[in-house]
Amino acid sequence: MKRPLLVLAAALLAVFSFSLNSQGQNRKAAPDAPIMEANVDVPMRDGVILRADIFRPAKPGKYPVLMGRTPYNKNGLHGSAKRFAKAGYIVVCQDARGRFESDGQWESFVRFDTNDGRDGYDTVEWAAKLPGSTGKVGTFGASYNAFLQWRTAALAPPSLVCMSAQSIPARYTDLEGPGSIKPGRRLQWWYGSMTPDMRKRSQSPGTKSNADGRALWKTEQDKWLHFVPWLKLPRTFWEEESDAVHAWLKNPALDPWALQKGVPNVTVPNLNVIGWFDHCNGNMMLDKAIFTKGKTVIARKGSRTIIGPWSHTGRGGRKVGKIDYGSKATVSVAAEDLRWFDYWLKGKNTGIADEAPVRIFVMGDNQWRDEQTWPLERAKTKSLFLSSGGKANTPAGDGKITKEKPASESSDHYTYDPKDPVPTLYSKAAFTVPADQKPHAERQDILVYQSEPLTERLEVTGNPVVELFASSTTPDTDFFVRLIDVHPDGRAIDVSLGMVRARYRNGLEKEKLITPGEVVKYTITLNPSSNAFLPGHRIRLDITSSDFPNFDRNHNTAANPNADAELAVAKQKVLHGGKYATVIHLPVID
């Protein structure tokens, strides 16, 4: 009896297995499932082979091509590639030179001469000739992937029709700040995103996956964030890029990017989706440049910018950090990309041509608004002055913001000790977010100036500018100014931040130390923003000398802080009134 039972059991198992396999095959063979070709060789002009994964629509035919190039592993582009392929595009996802599956030596963005643009050009023209291609190519991606797009577009490949390069500044010095690195984000980035693959390729000791690198960073970050100087960090931080990183750290005023210089050669329009709190918003220099200096009318008139209340991650969402900007803040970045490419590459009437070139989210009102230019030409300057009785330290002090210039001179003082810097209030991933400043309410090294409660709505849209009169007891130091919206319930929420490193007060190319004790005028341009200060709210300006680890600590010495470990204490003096009238100029919209 056992044998027939065994036969029956085997038969049932076979039927069950067939059923499961059939279901799996049905899932894999969905009618619109894209067809993927993995690790396709893409030859560059110098003979180096880069590799790409190609996704094709399920149905045969002629399709435009979308191209994404990345140093972060092309697998990370697969989600977008599948969506685009289902929408009728051939999609090329490529590892950048020297990264993951691509051959060659990776050349990081601190180098002044790389193959990034040439590789992008060659890949665009290669993609245009793929079987089934219409010959039209668009590019997509944010952050570093957007950097690679701007490098490519500056060489004007003939088959490139449009790009969606999002969330990247024009200058490396806008990304990092003047004269050094942002350790909170940058060291973590090297440790968990860049060097593991470098070690895997070279078989060097240490973590060889990004997951392991990020996990190790969590256990070691406090040690490395407080390490000085950066030039003596172990080789494991930079690996084969050590020489390039060291060269820049020795000359941190130099800008290895200068993407704005390539814009006059750009012939195609760009879609930029970015956030007011994105550490990559810089001065919106690329947006201004493409609108006014793009090589063609299409580039100048066809480009679009969408600016929401977002950080570098979470673009398109309604909540940033702990602040919820409401359902209207929500934007589908994927849908905007598709509308963009459908118009430029397929000729579909998606409404793009009829929309304003700039769309901004006005915080406070929490409403979207269309604009014709950036910056807004109709903005008017409203100047507000600082004053106090000499005790502006903390929100409980006597610092005031007034409409009238104080007739008599006065001042406030604080001590900046780089061993006890003001801690950054940002996300766990080390990205800037709009934060309530309440945790810093007791710090004596922050000067706080506040207006009376407003009786009318006041909209600030653009780049606020502070003219700060200050002195220090040291030959170099930093000054940070933070524009804040104080709500009636006491919350003090970030609007915009700006800073200056004293030695670069006249420009990065004009390094000059200060004379201890001498009053110096600093002009500090804050990050672009749009915020409606509502009735009952207060305008607040905080002044301090650190924001660590979002920014490196100024060592307060004459030495290059990237090369020297000495830390000195600075006694800071901020003046206001009389001939030293510290003022904030607000770009106001009626």
Which residue in 446, 482, 574, 476 sits closest to 252, CA to CA? Answer: 476
| H or E element that contains 187 | helix 183-189
- Does the pLDDT at position 19 exceed 50? no
Average pLDDT of 121-143? 98
Going by C-beta distance under 8 Å and a sequence separation of 6 or more, which residues neighbour residue 379?
Answer: 461, 462, 587, 588, 589
Q: Whose CA is closest to 198, among 73, 323, 312, 296? A: 73
In the prediction, which pLDDT does 253 show?
A: 87
pLDDT at 221: 95
Query: In Å, what is the CA distance from 150 to each residue of 160, 225, 257, 450?
Result: 12, 31, 10, 41
Topology annotation, domain 380-589:
Jelly Rolls (2.60.120)
Q: pLDDT tens, 347-376?
A: 999 999 999 999 999 999 999 999 999 999
Q: Please identify which residue in the block is written with the tokens 């933070």.
A: 482
53 φ/ψ angles, rounded to the nearest 5 degrees: -100, 130
Q: What angle, rounded to 10 degrees, do the helices at 333-346 and 78-86 form? A: 50
Percent with pLDDT over 70 in the chain: 95
List the one residue out of 399, 397, 376, 371 whose CA is nearest residue 386: 399
Report the run of H or E that residue 362 belongs to, with start and end: strand 358-362
pLDDT of residue 16: 35
**Average pLDDT over every residue of 129-133:** 98
What pLDDT does residue 14 have?
A: 35
Per-chain mean pLDDT for the chain? 94
pLDDT-derived band at 13 (thresholds 50, 70, 90) equals very low
* pLDDT-derived band at 179, boundaries 50, 70, 90: confident
The pLDDT assigned to 551 comes to 96
> Got the DSSP string for 315-351?
TT-SEETTEE--GGG---HHHHHHHHHHHHHH----S
pLDDT exceeds cutoff 70 at 455? yes
Q: What is the pLDDT of residue 178?
A: 81
pLDDT at 585: 98
Q: pLDDT tens, 295-325?
A: 999 999 999 999 999 999 999 999 999 999 9
**What pLDDT does 3 receive?**
39
Domain boundaries, the chain: 1-28, 35-174+256-370, 181-250, 380-589
Q: Please determine, for residue 576, whether its predicted confidence score (pLDDT) is greater than 80.
A: yes
Q: Are 199 and 205 in contact (CB under 8 A)?
A: yes
Average pLDDT over residues 30-51: 95
For the segment 501-518, the average pLDDT, to the nearest whole number, is: 96
Nearest partner of 311 among 463, 185, 149, judged by Cα: 185
Exposed, middle or buried, 222 (CB in 10 Å: 0-12/13-18/19+)? exposed
Is residue 392 pLDDT above 80, yes or no?
yes
**Separation of alpha carbons 460 and 431, rounded Å:** 23
Reported confidence tier of residue 274, pLDDT bands at 50, 70, 90: very high
Does position 445 have pLDDT exceeding 80, yes or no?
A: yes
Above 60 in pLDDT, residue 20? no
**Cβ atoms of 243 and 570 closer than 8 Å:** no
Q: How many CB atoms lie within 10 A of CB 515?
A: 10
pLDDT score for 29 = 52
**Considering the domain 35-174+256-370 in this protein, what is its CATH number?**
3.40.50.1820
> If you average pLDDT over residues 487-502, what whole number do you get?
97
Bond prior to 375 in cis (omega within 30° of 0): yes
pLDDT at 6 over 60: no
